[in-house]
Chain A
Amino acid sequence: MDKNRRDFLKILGIGSAAGMAGCSKSAPDALVPYVVPPEEMVRGNALWFRTTCRECPAGCGLEARVREGRVHKVEGNPEHPVNGGGVCARGQAAVQGLYNPDRLRTPLVRDKGGKLQPASWEEAEKAAQEGLARAGAVTVVSGAVRGALEDLIRTWVGPARHITYEPVAYEAIREANRRVFGIGSLPVLRFAEAKLIVLFGADVLETYISPVGYARGIAEARRKGARLVYAGPRLSLTAARADEWIPGDERQIARTYQPPAQEGFLAVAGNDPVTAQAVNLLNQRAGAINRTVRFDRESALDGATSRLEVSGAVVVVDTNPAYSAPHSLDQARFVVCLSPFQTETTEAAHVVFPIHTPLESWGDYEPWTGIHCLQQPAMTPVFDTREAGDVIIRLGNLKAPVFREYLKERWRKLHPQDFDAFWAESLMRGGWWREVPERKAAQVLRPPEPVAAPAEPGLRLITYPSLSHFDGRSANRAWLQELPDPVTQVVWDSWVEIHPEDAARHGIRTGNRVRVTTGSGSIETAAYVYRGIQPGNIAIPLGQGHTHYGRYASGVGANAFGLAQGPAAIQLLSRTRDLVAVGGSDLQHGREIARATTRPPSGGSPPPEKQEELSLYPPHSHDQYRWGMAIDLDACTACGACIVACYAENNIPVAGKERVAAGRIMSWIRLERFFGQGSRPAEPLQMDWTLMLCQQCDNAPCEAVCPVYAAYHNKEGLNGQIYNRCVGTRYCANNCPYRARRFNWFQYERPAPEDWQLNPDVTVRTKGVMEKCTFCIQRIVEAKDRARRENRRLADGDVTPACAQSCPAQAIVFGNLDDPASRVARAARQERAYRVFEELNTRPAVTYLERERRRV
C-alpha cells in the first residue's frame, strides 16, 4: 500500500515536470545555454546583491535575488539597522519599477513645435547645456539623496541652489522640535523600548518617516507588553492597530492629554504644528525626551521642503514636482528632467534624460547620520539608460570620474585604511553603520502656541499619503494598484472618506462621484462612506490621479495634492458606482475568523488539542516534515507587504480593475478586514483583520473532490496543486471553506519587459487551471537540496516563504509542525492559538494567534 502510494506520487511528480512546458503557450523557439557562463554564476542558482530601497526616504536595506542575470525579487536585508529584514509593499514592488513597460528608452528633446522627440544622448546633452546656459543660474531639485549624489549636485550648483524636495517632508515636526528643543531635526523614535505609545494623528505603520522599522519596533514592544493608543479623526490603519482609538481632533486631545506616571512613554505627532508642539511638551513632561525620543542622528529629510517654487534653469532629478506640487515649475524658463519614467514633470520639461532605476544604479544614501547605505546594480540596465550621477557630471562638465568612481572616492574618505576590504565588506553588508555621539536635547523652551486655524463650520479635509502609492511615486506599479487598501479594500482608485451622517446630508452613497472643493482647488473622485471617520471630517489618500505616469497610473483616481488641508465642501455629482472594492461582508457574522481578545494572558497551560480524528481514512503519515505556519494577529499591521511579496515570488498575474470587480483578483494571500463595535457601550468602531491563504489542511476538502488528482496530499502535509493536471472543474474552490483557491479565468499576458520579472522556479499558469498558495514549495525544495548537499536535515528557519520574509513585524512564522521545538509548533501551542473553522474538521496547518486588545 505504502509503496503504491509512493509510486503514485512519483508519477505525479514526473507528470508535473513533463507537462510544465505545456503550461506556457509562448515558449521560445530555442533555448541556448551559456557557452561560457559568467564567473560566480551557476545556472539555476540565485545570486543575491545587497542594495538600498529608494521607494521612499526611509532607506531600508534590500537584497535583490538574481537568476540568470535578471532581478526577479527583492527582500529585506536582515543585517540592516533601518528595517532588519522586512520590506513594505512598495519596496517589494521596486522590481515593477525596474521592469516597468512604460520606462523611458531614449533621451527626449522638445522640438520647435513644442513636442518631445526622441534624441541621441549627444543631442540631448547639447540641447540641455545650451538651454540651461540661456536660462541663467541652475537650480537642482531632487528628492532626499543625502550621499554621493547630493555631494555631486552641490559641487555643481552649490548648497544654496540644491533643493531637497519631498512632498511629505514633516516640516511642522521639525519646526516644533526647533522651537521646543532647539534642534530642527526629526526625532529618532525608539518604539521597541516604549511601554505606552500614544500616536496623535501619526500613521507610523503606513508611511510615516520609516514605517518598516517602526512596525518592527512596535511589534517588539508589544511582545514585551506595550500598549498603543491612537488619537485622531480617522480610524486609519494605524488607529485600527492600536489598542484604543480616541476619535476626535488630535490637536485638542494632544493639548489636554495627561501622560501616566510611567517609564517608557512615547508620544508621536502627525505633521501638524499645533499637535507637534503639544506632543513635544507632552514627551518632555513624561520624561520621554532623550529616552524613547532621541536626537542623536539627523534625518536625510531634515533639509527637505514640501513647498517648491523655482524659476530660471531647473534640473529635476528623479522626482515629480509637477504632480505633487502643481504650478511649482510654472516660473521655470528651462527644465531638464532626469527620470526613469515618463512623469508629469518630464511632460513639462524641455530635455529629458532616462536614468537607471535604483536596482540598476550605483549610489549611497544616509537616511540617518551614520547609517551609510550602499546601492549597487543588481543587473545590467534593461534599457539604454544612464546613472543620474553620470548625467549630472556631463551636464555640469564636472571634473569627476564616472559616478561609480566618484562614489568610491567618497567612501574612501569614510574609511581610508584598508579601503578595498572595507568596500567589499560594505557591498556585501549593504552599507556601513557607525555609532554616533549622543546628542541631548537639553534646552527646553516654552514657545507660544502656534495659532491654529479657527474651527470653521463645514467639513475639514485631511489628505494622507496612501499606503500603496505614498506620495504618488509608486502609482505606476500594477501590484500596488491591485493591492486592496487595507481599510477600504478599494483597488485601482482614489476615494474620499465621509461619515454616514455627512453622507446622508448630501445624499451620497459609497461609489458615487463627488466633487471636493477647497480654497485652493477642487477634484472629482468617488465617495467611500466610512463609519471610521468622525463627522465633520473628510479624508482623501494622496498618490493617485496621474496624467502622465504610464499605463497603470494614468487616469486612475484623482490627485489631491492641489487641495489644501482644512475647510472643504463636498458635492454629489452622479450616482454612478464605479468604485471597486474587494470583500463581501464587512462583518464577521459571529464566525470568529479574525479574533481579538481583551482578556490578559493568564500564563496558564494551553487549551487541550481539540482536533480529534474523525475520518474513515487512515491518518496521513509524514516522512520528516509537516509544514505549518503561524500568523500572529497581534503583530500583523495589515500593511500588505506579504501580499505583494507573494505576487513577486509566485508569478501571480494582475487582473485589473474590471476583473477585480468581477471577483477575479488572483492574490494567493488576502487581508480579510472586518468591522465591529467594542464590547463597552459607546466604544468607537473597531477593525479586525486576518490573513487568509491556503490552510494546507490535513483533511482537505479540496483534495477529495478533484476528479483527476490535480489536488493531492503530499508527504509533507501540503495540499499539492498540479497545474498541468488540472482540468478546471473548480470543484476544489467550491469546496474550500476558506475560499483560498484562485482560478485562471483568462490567459494573462505581461507586457515586455515585465515578463523578465517572472520567477524561473515557479510555473506560469495557463488559462483554465486552478492555483493557490503552495507555502512557497520552490523554497522548500531549494532548502532541502541545500540540506541534502550538506548531508543534514532541515533546521528550523531554513525555509522562509516570501510572505514571512517580507513581514516588517515578523508576524508570520513557518516551519515543521512535527518538530515540537520549532517556532511554529511552539506558536501553535500558545494560549492565543486558534484555527479558523476548526469545527469543520479540516485540520488546517495554519495557526492564528489571536490579537490582544489591551486595556489602557
Chain B
Amino acid sequence: MGNSATLRRRLPTYTTVDADLVKTMRPARRPYYLALLCLAAVAAWGGYAWSVQLRTGLGVAGISSPVGWGFYITTFVFWVGIAHSGTLISAVLFLFRVRWRAAIYRSAEAVTVFAVMTAGLFPLIHLGRPWVAYWLMPYKQMGGLFPNFRSPLVWDVFAVSTYFTVSALFFFTGMVPDLAIVRDRSQGWREKVYGFLAQGWQGTNLQWKHYTAAYVFLAGLATPLVISVHSIVSWDFAMSINPGWHTAIFPPYFVAGAIHSGLAMVATIVIPMRRLFGLETFITREHLASMAKFMIMTGMVLGYSYCVEFFIAWYSNNPYERDLFFYRAFGDYAWALWLLVGCNVLAPSLFFIQRVRYSTPWLIGISLLVNVGMFYERFVIIVTSLGRSFDPFMWSVYVPRWPEVSILAGSLAFFFLLFLLFAKVFPVVSMWEVKELLPLPSKEHRA
C-alpha cells in the first residue's frame, strides 16, 4: 500500500490534518499524569544519588583508579549518540528530499534536543569538582588564562554546545507554522503563550518565502554537525594513547553508531506514541520500515568497524592492542562484547526480512536491543581500555555502584519526562509538512 494512497483515502482535507494532530494536545488523562509522576520520581532519585556524590565525593561511585571513566562517560556518549537521529532525519533527509521524514522528524528533533540536554548533565556529574566546571569555557580566567585548546575535552564543550544550539533553533524554527495553528485554536493565556511562540506567523507568501530559505539554511548548518559532534566526542578517546582508543577509525565508527542508536531511540519512542495518539495514518508502517532499512545500513557499518578494529589490532602487531582486543573478546567483559555484537549487528540484520521490517513488535523489540547494545558498545570501549592499558600491575575490573546505576536510570527518566511533557505541549507531528505530502486541493482530486 502506497504512502500517498493512504493519505488520500483517510485525509481528504488540510482541516482534518490540523484537527487530528492538534488532538494530541488535548488535556491528558490519569495514566499520563501517573506516568509523569513515576518518571519524575525516578529522575528525583537520580538527583538524590548525585547529591550524595557531591557531598561525599566521587568515591561513592564504582569508578576508581585505573578505570576513572565508567558509567557516566558511557552514558554521556550514549545520549550524544541518541541525539544524532534528529538532525539526521530532519536536516540531512530534508536536504535529500526524503519524503518519509515528514511524519517523524518533529519527534526525532525532540529526541535530539532532550538527549543533548540529558547528555550535557553527565560531564558535570562525572567531574571531581563540578562547581568549577565553568573553567572549561573560553573566557579570560585568572588574569588571562584560556582553557587548553589542545584538550579534546575543550573541543567537546564547543561541539556539544554548538550542536545543542543549532538543534534547538532548528527544532523551534520547524515548529513555528504549527504553533500558529495551535495559537489559532486556543483561547485565553494559552493563546497568548502560543502567540508569542508563533512569532507573529500569518502564513503569508512572503513569510513562507523567508521561512523556507531560513529552513534550508539551518538544515545546511546542521548537517555538518551530524558528522562533527560525534567525531569530536570520539576524539576524547582517539586522541589519547590508550590501546583500543588511539585509532583512526573512531570518528566514522562513532558517527555510524550514533545514527544507529538515534534511529533506534526514535523508533522506540515513535511506535508507542503513534499507537497512543492514534497517529497511524500519519506515521505509517512504510515510514517505520524506511527507518528499519536505514538501521540495516548503520548496523552493517558498525559490524564492519568492529571487524576492522580486531583486524588492525592483530595486523598492527602492537602487543598492547593485541592483548586488549583478546581481552575484550575473551576477558571479564566478553559477555558485553558478544551482547553488543548481537544487539547492534545481528539483530538489525533481521530487518532484511520484509515481515520483520513491517511488524511493529519486531521493530520495537529490535530497536530496544540496539539501544542496549549501543550502551554496551561505549561501555566496553571505555572500561576495557582503561582497565587493561599498558601497565599490567594496574589492570582492574570496573563494577558500577548504586549512584551510577541510579543516575543512569534517572537520566532515562529525565529524558522520557521531557518527551512526555513535549508530547502534550507541542504538536508531535509536523502539520505543515504532512500537508505538503497531501495532494493539492484541486477539483481533480476531489472527484
Q: Which of A670, A734, A766, A768 neighbours the largest number of chain B CB atoms within 10 Å of its CB?
A: A734
Q: A726-B128, A727-B129, A735-B241 are in contact. Are A705 and B395 (CB under 8 A)?
A: no
Q: Is the CB of A11 within 8 A of B144?
A: yes
Kindly provide the distance from the CB of B336 to the nearest chain A CB, expressed in whole angstroms.
19
Closest residue of chain B to A588 (Cβ to Cβ) is B392
CA–CA, A738 to B241, complex, Å?
Answer: 11
Q: Is the CB of A769 within 8 A of B129?
A: yes
CA–CA, A707 to B150, complex, Å?
Answer: 8
User: B237-250 toward A: CB 8 Å interface, digit per residue (1/0)?
Assistant: 00111100000000
| A674 located at the interface, meaning its Cβ lies under 8 Å from any Cβ of chain B in the complex | yes
Kindly provide the distance from the CB of A687 to the nearest chain B CB, expressed in whole angstroms.
13
| A74 located at the interface, meaning its Cβ lies under 8 Å from any Cβ of chain B in the complex | no
Q: Is the CB of B145 within 8 A of A709?
A: yes
List residues 178-222 of chain B with CB under 8 A from any CB of chain A.
Answer: none
| B389 located at the interface, meaning its Cβ lies under 8 Å from any Cβ of chain A in the complex | yes
Partner among B69, B129, B393 whose Cβ is within 8 Å of the Cβ of A674: B393
Q: A663-B66, A727-B133, A734-B240 are in contact. Are A739 and B389 (CB under 8 A)?
A: yes
Q: Is the CB of A734 within 8 A of B69?
A: yes
Q: A705-B152, A707-B148, A730-B69 are in contact. Are A15 and B142 (CB under 8 A)?
A: yes
CA–CA, A591 to B322, complex, Å?
Answer: 13
List residues 1-45 of chain A with CB under 8 A from any CB of chain B.
Answer: 7-8, 11-12, 14-15
List residues 363-398 of chain B with CB under 8 A from any CB of chain A.
Answer: 386, 389-396
Instruction: Give the segment of A163-171, A742-750, A778-786 that binds chain B.
Output: A742-750
Q: A11-B142, A707-B147, A746-B57 are in contact. Are A728 and B65 (CB under 8 A)?
A: no
| B135 located at the interface, meaning its Cβ lies under 8 Å from any Cβ of chain A in the complex | yes
Query: Within 8 Å CB of B153, what residues of A?
Result: 705, 707, 729, 731
| A590 located at the interface, meaning its Cβ lies under 8 Å from any Cβ of chain B in the complex | yes
Q: Is the CB of B127 within 8 A of A727?
A: yes
Q: Is the CB of A701 within 8 A of B240?
A: yes
| A706 located at the interface, meaning its Cβ lies under 8 Å from any Cβ of chain B in the complex | yes
Partner among B236, B240, B396 whose Cβ is within 8 Å of the Cβ of A663: B396
| B6 located at the interface, meaning its Cβ lies under 8 Å from any Cβ of chain A in the complex | no
User: B135-167 toward A: CB 8 Å interface, digit per residue (1/0)?
Assistant: 110000011110110111110010000000000
Query: Within 8 Å CB of B126, what residues of A?
Result: 729-730
Q: Is the CB of A743 within 8 A of B393?
A: no
CA–CA, A247 to B173, complex, Å?
Answer: 80
| B323 located at the interface, meaning its Cβ lies under 8 Å from any Cβ of chain A in the complex | yes
Q: Is the CB of A731 within 8 A of B151?
A: yes
Q: Is the CB of A672 within 8 A of B391?
A: yes
Q: Is the CB of A734 within 8 A of B386?
A: yes
Query: Within 8 Å CB of B127, what residues of A?
Result: 727-729, 768
Q: Is the CB of B154 within 8 A of A707?
A: yes
Q: Is the CB of A737 within 8 A of B241?
A: yes
Partner among B67, B136, B396 whose Cβ is within 8 Å of the Cβ of A708: B136
| A589 located at the interface, meaning its Cβ lies under 8 Å from any Cβ of chain B in the complex | yes
Q: Is the CB of A744 within 8 A of B145?
A: no
| B342 located at the interface, meaning its Cβ lies under 8 Å from any Cβ of chain A in the complex | no
Kindly provide the distance from the CB of A175 to the nearest chain B CB, expressed in whole angstroms.
43
CA–CA, A729 to B394, complex, Å?
Answer: 19
| B59 located at the interface, meaning its Cβ lies under 8 Å from any Cβ of chain A in the complex | yes
Query: Within 8 Å CB of B130, what residues of A?
Result: 727
CA–CA, A587 to B390, complex, Å?
Answer: 13
Partner among A659, A692, A735, A766 whose Cβ is within 8 Å of the Cβ of B240: A735
Q: Which of B58, B242, B394 neighbours the largest number of chain A CB atoms within 10 Å of its CB?
A: B394
Q: A734-B69, A735-B241 are in contact. Are A584 and B136 (CB under 8 A)?
A: no
List residues 581-612 of chain A with CB under 8 A from any CB of chain B.
Answer: 583-585, 587-591, 593
Q: Is the CB of A589 within 8 A of B392?
A: yes
Query: Within 8 Å CB of B241, what residues of A?
Result: 701, 735, 737, 840
Q: Is the CB of A737 within 8 A of B389?
A: yes
CA–CA, A743 to B386, complex, Å?
Answer: 15
| A662 located at the interface, meaning its Cβ lies under 8 Å from any Cβ of chain B in the complex | yes
Closest residue of chain A to B132 (Cβ to Cβ) is A727
| B319 located at the interface, meaning its Cβ lies under 8 Å from any Cβ of chain A in the complex | yes
List residues 56-71 of chain B with CB under 8 A from any CB of chain A.
Answer: 56-59, 62-69
List residues 315-339 of chain A with CB under 8 A from any CB of chain B.
Answer: none
Kindly provide the distance from the CB of A185 to the nearest chain B CB, expressed in whole angstroms.
43
User: B44-64 toward A: CB 8 Å interface, digit per residue (1/0)?
Assistant: 000000000000111100111
User: A653-666 toward B: CB 8 Å interface, digit per residue (1/0)?
Assistant: 00000010011110
CA–CA, A837 to B394, complex, Å?
Answer: 14
Kindly provide the distance from the CB of B310 to the nearest chain A CB, expressed in whole angstroms.
19
| A89 located at the interface, meaning its Cβ lies under 8 Å from any Cβ of chain B in the complex | no
Q: A728-B128, A742-B65 are in contact. Are A735 and B242 (CB under 8 A)?
A: yes
List residues 745-790 of chain A with CB under 8 A from any CB of chain B.
Answer: 745-747, 766-770
Q: A590-B319, A768-B128, A770-B128 are in contact. Are A746 and B59 (CB under 8 A)?
A: yes
Q: Is the CB of A708 within 8 A of B64?
A: no
Q: Is the CB of B65 within 8 A of A737?
A: no
Closest residue of chain A to B61 (Cβ to Cβ) is A745
Q: A729-B153, A769-B128 are in contact. Are A709 and B392 (CB under 8 A)?
A: no
Q: Is the CB of B136 within 8 A of A692?
A: no
CA–CA, A620 to B440, complex, Å?
Answer: 70
Query: Within 8 Å CB of B59, what residues of A?
Result: 659, 662, 664, 745-746, 767
Closest residue of chain A to B395 (Cβ to Cβ) is A584
CA–CA, A742 to B68, complex, Å?
Answer: 10
Query: Within 8 Å CB of A8, what residues of B?
Result: 144-145
User: B116-135 toward A: CB 8 Å interface, digit per residue (1/0)?
Assistant: 00000000001111101101
Closest residue of chain B to A729 (Cβ to Cβ) is B153
**Interface pairs (5), CB distance under 8 Å:** A584-B392, A591-B320, A705-B240, A767-B129, A768-B58
Residues of A at under 8 Å CB distance from B?
A: 7-8, 11-12, 14-15, 583-585, 587-591, 593, 659, 662-665, 670, 672-674, 692, 701, 704-709, 725-731, 733-735, 737-739, 741-747, 766-770, 837, 840
Besides A727-B127, A735-B242, 14 other A-B contacts (C-beta < 8 A) = A8-B145, A584-B394, A585-B393, A589-B319, A665-B65, A707-B151, A707-B153, A725-B142, A730-B68, A730-B69, A734-B242, A738-B390, A739-B65, A840-B241
Closest 10 CB pairs of A and B: A728-B128, A768-B128, A584-B395, A745-B59, A730-B68, A663-B64, A585-B392, A739-B394, A768-B129, A672-B393
Residues of B at under 8 Å CB distance from A?
A: 56-59, 62-69, 126-130, 132-133, 135-136, 142-145, 147-148, 150-154, 157, 236, 239-242, 319-320, 323, 386, 389-396
